Amino acid sequence: NMLEAAGTGKLRIFGQGKNRICFTHVDNYAHALIIAERQLFKGSPVLGKFYIVTDGRTHPEPDAYCIFWKELNKAVVAMGFSSIEEKMHYSFWFLYIVAIFAEALGWLLGRVFKLNVFNVFVLTMHRWFRITAAEKDLEYQPIIPFVEGWADTILWFKKHWLPTFEQKDRSWFGLARRSQQKIDIQAK
């Protein structure tokens, strides 16, 4: 959990911190499923097509995306933790090399570490999508604007997650025990 790492003071921005992403509020996702289901009939022009939905043009950037680390920092600060923007960023190549060593060490020890090559790529690459096909074919429009949905999500974490967070409940690597348990389960 990124917020757990931020709460322990261990989270740093990966790379330059400018990777573009899209969010999709759960209500927007559910809305898209409902309107897509209504298009499932014999001879429908949408059959067999692939659609992506996001919060679309309601994202803060004009091209319908947001900056991942900027938005994550809003959640971090809202939890009362130190801003990650003020801390040193770790370069992609540094993290990539450390991740290779972590994977090798994990292989030797029979453990899985959170820092791995896949996660380094995921946390540094652009992942944003145009939703023009869904807008045109399904007449999809987000029903929850990004700013409202993100604020609601942050509030939920502050109300429900934060009271259960224990800063001292972490491993040497800064992971909370619950996160490490999830990693161990996925590794099996």
Q: Is residue 138 part of a domain?
A: yes
Q: Is residue 99 part of a domain?
A: no
CB-based contacts of 150, cutoff 8 Å, min separation 6 = 23, 71, 74
What does the pLDDT read at residue 167?
Answer: 72
For 65, the domain range is 2-88+126-178
Distance CA 130, CA 139 (A): 14
161 assigned to some structural domain: yes
Residue 187 located in a structural domain: no
What pTM did the predictor assign? 0.83
CA dist., res. 179 & res. 4, Å (int): 8
pLDDT (tens place) for every residue of the chain, 188 residues total: 899 999 999 999 999 999 999 999 999 999 999 999 999 999 999 999 999 999 999 999 999 999 999 999 999 999 999 999 999 999 999 999 999 999 999 999 999 998 999 999 999 999 999 999 999 999 999 999 999 999 999 999 999 999 999 876 555 555 556 656 665 665 66
Per the domain annotation, does 103 fall within a domain? no
Beta bridge partners of 113: none
Q: Are 25 and 149 in contact (CB under 8 A)?
A: yes
Query: Which pairs from 178-182 meet CB under 8 Å and 24+ separation?
Result: 179/1, 179/4, 179/114
Question: Is 100 part of any domain?
Answer: no
Structural domain count of the chain: 1
Residue 166 lies in a domain: yes
> Which pLDDT score, from 0 to 100, does residue 184 have?
64
Question: Sign of the C-alpha dihedral, residues 20, 146, 76, 6?
Answer: negative
* Domain assignment of residue 7, yes or no: yes
What integer pLDDT is reported at residue 24 of this predicted model? 97
Which element (helix H / strand E) includes 186? helix 177-187
pLDDT at 83: 98
Q: Residue 140 is part of a domain; what is its CATH number? A: 3.90.25.10
CA angle 61, 64, 65 (to 5 degrees): 70
